[in-house]
Amino acid sequence: MSKPFWVAGKATHSAESVELRSPYDNAIAGSHDVPTASDVERAVAAASEVSAETAALPAHVRADALDHVSRTLARRSDELAQLITDESGKPVKWSKGEVGRAASTFRWASEEARRFSPTMQRLDTDPGAVGRTAMIRRVPRGPVLGISPFNFPLNLVAHKVAPAIAVGAPIVLKPAPSTPLTALALGEVLAETDLPTGSWSILPVPNSAAPGLVADPRLPIVSFTGSVPVGWSIKDSVPRKHVTLELGGNAGVLVAPDWTDLDFAARRIATFAMYQGGQSCISVQRVYVHADHYDELLARIVEQTEALRTGDPRDPATDVGPMINLAAAERVEGWIAAARESGATLHTGGARDGATIAPTVLSGVRHDADVMAQEVFGPVVSVNRIESVDEGLALINDSRFGLQAGVFTNDLRLAFDASARLEVGGVVIGDVPSFRADQMPYGGVKDSGIGREGPASAMLDFTEERVTVFTGLPF
């Protein structure tokens, strides 16, 4: 039986259903019913109508609901991990990690909901304001439209749903059409909470329905994670709305001359260039290695890459599974071929088997090649020789993207210098840029987007300041 969608917190069926298949072997992953236009209208209307009630919810109600979701995700971890793998092709070892992270995201949101409090500011700093004190509270901007991508079908949903609940903002979620089943399973958990009717809906509608939702004035916040052109088109189409965008990157890594643990660097670079088929916004894509280490580290990266196991994502031993679909794999295959035609050297990988691309290491890639200049979003890494740290930092910055970067160094001065000079949202010292703790601010600059995820950061984006001035009171 097809999974229902969720309208105003209620499981809902329709006459139309969609079947989902694994990108690995075309096995049936499941099916879901498709909301009608009237279902979408009911969801948006309910979010608007319940907005004041949701904003007034006591902190303990919000926090208890988030706690319940966190505990239930942890309890259902194996089931949900299998579902993620079935619909996305993500190796089950990474799917289990994603469920754990989603549980943590809801737990962090629960904690933030309990401490989301007004602040006080004294105003008697000038004679005309003696006896006045300001209280600054944050209030929801209104209902949120969350649009989530395919590559983290649970945790990136959590990063939209959890902070909305934490601040008392209703949310209408549109999951990615290729991976909606996990979001619909999350609806089963949310339905067990005491959140008000109408405070959340999960609508697995086609992408063609998104512009109407984006334009709807009853959804004043849009939180989008996905492709660059779609994200900026959303921002341009609704200039009066509060829009947050997480649009990806082409993460760079610098290996400085003082770094000596080349085995660790090679293992981390190979693993996190290829994990999840390279389909992560902070997957390692560009590596800049000082000439002192270049030849040795390149050889070790190739060795570590060749040790990764590809195959059935349901096998716990599989490291690298398929891409989300055949078209994505064919695109990456073409980009690899184009890089080689322009002079790049292929050290390993490059072949395609259905939707699976063999983990690929290139060197000598032109800076303007797609695998360097664009977001490859596939299991491909380009390793480049540099003569100085300054050159490496400049090359990382020479990109339209700016999400995260990694710097392998033990030099504290270089670490601070890189943190100041790299034009990215986050710098990871001593590791690859693929590290993300779900409670930290996460987001980018330039074409990587605007705004920040992480429960506390997103809660700021979903709210605005309201000032109350008290008169005639001692500070």
Check which CATH number belongs to the domain holding 138 and give it: 3.40.605.10
Residue 474 in any domain: the answer is no
**Residue 227, CB-side half-sphere exposure with 13 Å CA sphere:** 9
97 and 219 share a domain?
A: yes
Note whether residue 135 is domain-resident: yes
Query: Same domain for 360 and 215?
Result: no
User: Are 184 and 280 part of one and the same domain?
Assistant: no
Rounded Cα gap, residues 274 and 411, in angstroms: 28
Residues 209 and 353 reside in one and the same domain: no
The domain of 129 spans: 5-247+448-468
Residue 321 placed within a domain: yes
What is the structure's pLDDT at 475?
A: 62
Question: For residue 343, what is the domain's CATH number?
Answer: 3.40.309.10
Is there a single domain that holds both residue 358 and residue 339?
Answer: yes
Question: In the chain, how many domains are there?
Answer: 2
376/373 Cα distance (integer angstroms): 9
In this structure, are 236 and 285 located in the same domain?
Answer: no
Same domain, 284 and 144: no
pLDDT at 474: 76
**Does one domain contain both 359 and 268?**
yes
The pair of structure tokens assigned to 89 is: 């092709």
Residue 358 φ then ψ, to 5°: -65, 135
In single-letter form, the type of residue at position 392 comes to: G
Clarify whether residues 117 and 87 are in a common domain. Answer: yes
Do 290 and 223 fall into the same domain? no
Closest CA to 409 of 397, 434, 392: 392
Among the listed residues 352, 368, 297, the one whose alpha carbon sits nearest the alpha carbon of residue 360? 352
Asked whether residue 130 falls in the same domain as residue 59, the answer is yes
Catalytic residues: 246, 281
Same domain membership, residue 429 and residue 292: yes
Residue 343: inside a domain: yes
Tell me, what DSSP letter sits at residue 224?
E
Q: Contact, 133 vs 122, CB < 8 A?
A: yes
The residues of the chain scoring below 70 in pLDDT are 475
Query: Is residue 442 assigned to a domain?
Result: no
| Alpha-carbon gap, residue 153 to 19, rounded angstroms | 17
Residue 372 resides in a domain: yes
Tell me whether residue 367 is in a domain. yes
pTM of full prediction above 0.95: yes
In a domain, 475, yes or no: no
